[in-house]
Structure formats: C-alpha cells, structure tokens
Amino acid sequence: MKKMDLQSAWAVAAKDFKIFKRKSTVIYLSTVYPLAVGIAFPLIVQYALHIGKGHGITALTLPRFMDAFSIWFLIGAAVFPTAIASYSLVGEKIQKSLEPLLATPMTDGEILLGKTISGLVVPLGAIYAGSVIYMSLMDLVTQSTLGYLYYPNWHIGAILLVAPFICLVSVELNIIISSRLNDVRTAQQAGMLAAFPFFGIYIASEIGLFALNDTNLLILAGVILAIAVVLFFVSRVTFQREEILTKWK
Amino acid sequence: MTVVIDTENLTKKFGDLTAVDSLTLHVNDGEVFGFLGPNGAGKTTTIRMLCCLISKTSGSAKIGNYEVGNRADQQKIRRMIGLLTENVGLYEELSAYDNLDFYGRFYKLDEQKRKEQIEYFLKMLGLWEKRNEAAGTFSKGMKQKLAIARALIHDPQVLFLDEPTASLDPEASKTVRDFILELKKEKRTIFLNTHLLDEAEKICDRVAILKTRLIAIGTPQELRRSLSGRKIKVQLQRVDDVIVEAVKKIGFQISEITDNSLLIDVSDPEKENPAILKAIEAAGGHVQFVTEVGSTLEDVYLKLVRG
C-alpha cells in the first residue's frame, strides 16, 4: 500500500483554503460565533457585576460561572467546523470536481486527510482566538472582584486541549455525513448532530452528574481522540471511488 | 508498434446490468483512437475502468506494462494517464492558473516545471491573458480547454478524453478539435470518447463502435468500405418511374431518389456502370454525369447501432 503523502494532503487543504477565502459565508459561519462568544460572556459578567449590581454573583461564585462559560468552547468545537467541513466535500460534489481529483495518483486517505485539515484549521484557529479574547476580557472585568487574574488556568487549558479532538470528531462526522448528501445546508444541519453529545456532557456537568474537572477533561480528550481515529478509518471505508462515481448524485 | 492500451474480454457489471461486455481492443502508441457509441453504450464506464476509477468485473486490461485492477499498479497507471472527464469539474472559485497548479502538485512537478507547463498550455490554448481570472467566469469552451490543459499538466503518455466537445457551440467545438489535432502531431496516445461521428472521422486514426459489446473496429475508411459497400450517383436531366424500374429490373438497388438523380448500390462500379447507363438510356433517360459516392461514418454507425 502506498505511504500517505502529506504534501498531497496539504495541497488539497491549501486549495480548500483558497476556495474558502472566496466563500465568505463559509468563513463567517466558522469564525464569527467563537469570536462572539469570546466577547459576549465577559460582557454578561461585566453587566452582572458592575451594572446589574452583582445579581447574586460574588467573588466566591464567579469562578464557577466562568468555568461553565468556558465549556461553550467545547460545544463550539463540535459546532463550528460543520460549515466548512460540510462545504468542503459537498462543494466538490456540486462542482463535480471529484472525478478528475480521483484520477490523480492521490490515495483516498490523502484526499480525506486534506479535507480533515481544511475543516479543522479555520474553526480551531477561531476557537483559540475567541478563547484568548474571552480570557483577556474576562480577566479585565473580574480582576477587581476576584483580586487576581483568573485566566489562564488549568481548566481552560484542559478545555483548549480537548477542543482540537472534538473539532476532529466533528470534521470526520461531517465528512461521513456529507458524503451521503448533496446539499450543503442539509449537510450542515445534519452535521450539527455532532454537538449533541457535548451538550449532554455540559448539561450533565451542570446538574452534577458529571464533574468537568481537569482530570475528567483529560480522560475525555483521550476518549475523543480514539473516536476521531476510528471515524477517520470509517470515513476512509465510506469514501469509495467506485461508489462516489457511480452512486453519488 | 507498441500497444499502450490493451484489453481482453474486459467486462463491467453493475448488479444485473452489464455495462461493458467482453471488450477486447488494442490501442497503439501515438494513435488517436475514437470510441463511438450511443448514450449508455458503456464508453464512460470503459474509460473509468481504464483510469482505475472503478473496478472491472472480469477480463483484463493493461495500460503500458501495468495491470488495471492490480493495486500495486494503480498509482503508476494514474501517473501515466491524463483524463478529461465528461463534466469538466473545475474549481470555479480558483483562477485558471491555480486550477492547473493544484493538479501539478500531485504529479510531483517542482515549482519551476509547474510554472513552465502551466504557461505552455495556457498560451497554447489562448488562456494565458486570463490566467488570474476565476474559472467560474469562463465560457464553456474556455472551461473545456482549461480542463484539457489540466489533463495534460504532467505530460501524460496516454490521454483519455470523454466527450470533449459535447455541449459546446460549433466555434468552441472547433477550437477544442483543433487543439486535439495539435496534440495528435505530438504523437500522444489519445483515447477519445465521442458520439460525434464527424469529429471522430476528422480526428481519429482508428475507431471502435461500442454498444455494450464491441461491434466494429478499424480505420474510418475501413469501416465505411467494409460495411456500407459502394454507391454511385447518376445525375440525369429528369428521373421518372420508367427509368427507376429499368435500373431495378437489371438487379440494382436504388437507395435514394431525388428529382434529378439516383443513388445506386453497386459492388464493382467499373464493371457495372456501363450496364446501368445502358438501361437508363434505353428507358429514355439522359445521363449528365456519374460519380462514386462514399458512405459516411455516420451511415456505418447508424447501420451498426440500429442492428
């Protein structure tokens, strides 16, 4: 079997980045939300602490709220890649560009790896940028109440460590889903299903069924990475040249 | 002569449907080979099998020394072929240059070589001035030319063209056809899928007619001669029933009658013409001239395809 050629995979990803640059809506869908979350939560806290006169939030309860807010970056990691990952494959189907691509010496694995990279980089970059904005603004609005800088800390560090793996699972799921669909919007909606388990984890942690502490986040990272690897192989099995050419409409 | 494409009883079935049945053909190095057939005849399926895009059900096929269907040979085959697909499948948001550059990377062409190849083909196809414009803004003909350049970017030994002029206007078709003729001068092996008989006749050294099974193969001239026989056109001052009956009476078939001429099937015009002319004159006809009419590839094709 031919060894995976990373240069070819990167060429696919680089080509997708060039296309995304011209598809501004795809980029906005993946980047605006994480950046907005990074700004919105600190503003809510600012309002609650200073304008809303506390609303019951004290220096003692504030870290719990901040930890809960930061978990939205985990959920986001499952949601944000949907737009790009769905477009990446369905776009090829719409433009009928897969057949010439499949006729090149590239392997299925290289094409899928390229698609994974292109689906991963932009949303992940946006999540990290959003989290930096979030931490900076949150420190700015809470330092006077807490008396110290809450961020960076291990909790958000663990979240940002898990985020790429969740992104990866989301990208792989979206690739598998979009290989079965022909409409970008439907693929994106179906891809959103990837976020449901993480909503579940969030709710479970909020009602006390599951503690999203640093240890559990690290365990979660390992489990999700294993799922991502399995999904990559599932997507390779799903991505059959013959089926693509004869059955994909 | 070296055989570059070699198939023996190549068969493809999709469930109960046989798309290609026991196809045996040999295409020589540097030959332009036309693959004719109606829609659904199995032309695209054959190309896809030969390009290692879909598997064969049975039989064998070789491209050069490499076996189609052998996993170890697949990458080697893909390196030595170029494919123009039925749908051009360009990246519409990317420029013409970027479309070609993207494909050049898969064939391990270094940056300098890629630049040279892109410039060469875009200039040759008259697209160099538009190299930085998005492919989506191109006309159908321009897109088709760009897709051909994409198939050639790595200088493949064998080029598969699937309906290269389908859905193009006459002017764009001519441009693409002229380009294929330019490629023919380079002695490149070209496997041309088409249902345009005129195109095949103008471009191809040999043609095969497929209707799931191979029903004929040869040069256009050979096919015309072997399958439709010879015809003469007798131009008269006036044609009437008496003249027509006179010709039929001496055992000749008239395939077409117009106001002033008869198209008559003959096997040996040199020997048979005097008898025909004598019969016409005897029936009161006045012959102005006689010419031999060659049948077109279209006549042959329709005769074969309609069974």
pLDDT per position as a tens digit, B206-243: 999 999 999 999 998 888 777 667 788 999 998 999 99
B102:A245 CB<8 A = no
For chain B, percent of residues with pLDDT exceeding 90: 67
Q: Which residue of A has its CA nearest to B159?
A: A103
Task: Please report, for chain A, how many H helices and E strands are present, in that order.
Answer: 12, 0
pLDDT of amino acid A248: 63
DSSP secondary structure letter of residue A50? I
Of A103, A242, A245, the CB nearest to B78: A103
Q: Measure the CA–CA gap between B93 and B80, rounded to whole angstroms.
A: 28
Query: In terms of residues, how long is chain A?
Result: 249
Give CA–CA dist B131/B139, Å, rounded.
14
Interface test with A, best of B17, B47, B53, B57 (most A CBs within 10 A): B53
In terms of Cα–Cα distance, which of B32, B8, B24, B19 is closest to B219? B32
Q: Return the residue in B86, B102, B154 with the most chain A beta carbons within 10 A, the one to mutate for interface testing.
A: B102
Size of interface A-B (CB pairs under 8 A): 74
Residue A179: the pLDDT is 75
DSSP helix/strand/coil, A176 = helix
Show contacts of B42-47: CB within 8 Å, 24+ apart. Answer: B42/B12, B42/B210, B42/B212, B43/B162, B43/B193, B43/B210, B44/B86, B44/B162, B44/B193, B45/B12, B45/B19, B45/B20, B46/B10, B46/B12, B46/B20, B46/B193, B46/B210, B47/B83, B47/B160, B47/B162, B47/B191, B47/B193
Q: Mean pLDDT in chain B?
A: 91
Q: Which residues of B touch A96 (CB under 8 A)?
A: 85, 87-89
> Binning pLDDT at 50, 70 and 90, where does residue B307 land?
low
Considering the domain boundaries, does residue A4 fall inside one?
no
Residue B8 pLDDT > 90: yes
CB–CB contact B90 A242 (8 Å): no
Task: Determine, yes or no, domain membership for A237.
Answer: yes
Looking at residue A3, the DSSP 8-state letter turns out to be: P
Distances (CA, A) of A22 to A129, B134, B139, B241, B272: 21, 10, 20, 72, 72
Mutating which of B12, B106, B150, B160 best tests the A interface, going by the most A Cβ atoms within 10 A? B106
Nearest one of B216, B217, B196 to B205, comparing CA atoms:
B217
CB neighbours of A5 closer than 8 A, spacing ≥ 6?
Answer: A106, A107, A110
Cα B106 to its chain centre, rounded Å, is 29
CB B61 within 8 A of CB B52: no
pLDDT-flagged residues of chain A (< 70): 1-2, 51-56, 182, 247-249
Residue A17 located in a structural domain: no
Kindly report, residue by residue over B140-184, the tens digit of the pLDDT: 889 999 999 999 999 999 999 999 988 788 888 888 888 888 888
Residues of each domain in chain B carrying CATH 3.30.70.1290: 227-305
Q: How far is CA B240 from CA B245, B281, B284, in A?
A: 9, 12, 9
Task: Collect all residues of chain A within an 8 Å Cβ-Cβ radius of residue B71.
Answer: 1
Residue B76 has what pLDDT? Answer: 93
Q: Is residue A16 part of a domain?
A: no
Q: A interface toward B at CB cutoff 8 Å?
A: 1-2, 7-8, 11, 15, 18-19, 22-23, 95-107, 241-242, 245-246
> Which of A24, A99, A108, A249 to mutate: most B Cβ within 10 Å?
A99
pLDDT digits (tens, 9 = 90+) for B275-288: 999 999 999 999 99
- For range B21-28, the mean pLDDT: 96
Could you list the residue range(s) of the whole structural domain that residue A77 is in?
Answer: 24-246
Q: Decide: B268 and B301 in contact? Cβ < 8 Å.
A: no
B190 within 8 A of B168, measured Cβ to Cβ:
no
Number of C-beta neighbours around residue B16 at 10 A: 5
Q: Where in chain B is the domain with CATH 3.40.50.300?
A: 3-218
At A168, the amino acid letter reads L
- pLDDT tier at B270 (50, 70, 90 boundaries)? confident
Which class does domain B3-218 fall in? Answer: alpha beta
pLDDT, tens digit (0-9, with 9 covering 90-100), for B290-301: 998 776 777 777
Domain count across chain A: 1
Which pair of tokens denotes residue B283? Answer: 């029936």
Question: Which ipTM did the prediction report?
Answer: 0.81
B66-107 confidence digits (pLDDT tens): 999 998 999 999 999 999 998 999 999 999 999 999 999 999
- Mean pLDDT of all residues in B33-57: 94
Q: Is residue A3 part of a domain?
A: no
Q: How near does any CA of chain B get to the CA of A136, in Å? A: 37
Residue of A1, A15, A20, A107 for testing the chain B interface, max B β-carbons within 10 Å: A15
Write out the two tokens for A119.
């689906």
With CB atoms and an 8 Å threshold, state whether B54 touches A246. Answer: yes
Q: Would you state the pLDDT for residue A178?
A: 79
Q: How distant is the Cα of A154 from the closest Cα of chain B, in angstroms?
A: 42
Residue A9 within a domain: no
With respect to residue A12, please indicate whether it lies within any of the assigned structural domains: no
Q: Do A18 and B89 touch (CB under 8 A)?
A: no
Q: Does the pLDDT at position B121 exceed 60?
A: yes
Query: Searching chain A, which residue's CA lies closest to the CA of residue B148?
Result: A100
Chain B positions touching chain A (beta carbons under 8 Å):
14, 48, 51, 53-55, 71, 75, 78-79, 81, 83, 85, 87-94, 98, 102-103, 105-107, 134, 147, 150-151
- Flag if B89 and A97 touch (Cβ within 8 Å): yes
Neighboring chain A residues of B87 at a CB cutoff of 8 Å:
96, 99
- DSSP state for residue A48 in the 8-state scheme: I
Contact B91 A97 (CB under 8 A): yes
Q: How far is B80 from chain A (nearest CA, A)?
A: 10
Q: Which CATH class is domain B227-305?
A: alpha beta
With CA atoms as reference, the chain B residue closest to A14 would be B102
Yes or no, beta carbons of B102 and A246 under 8 Å apart: no
Among B51, B93, B102, beta carbon nearest to A11: B102
Determine the pLDDT at residue A52: 61
How far apart (Å, rounded) are the C-alpha atoms in residues B279 and B276?
A: 5
Q: How far apart are CA A82 and CA A76, in angstroms?
A: 10
Q: Do A105 and B79 touch (CB under 8 A)?
A: yes
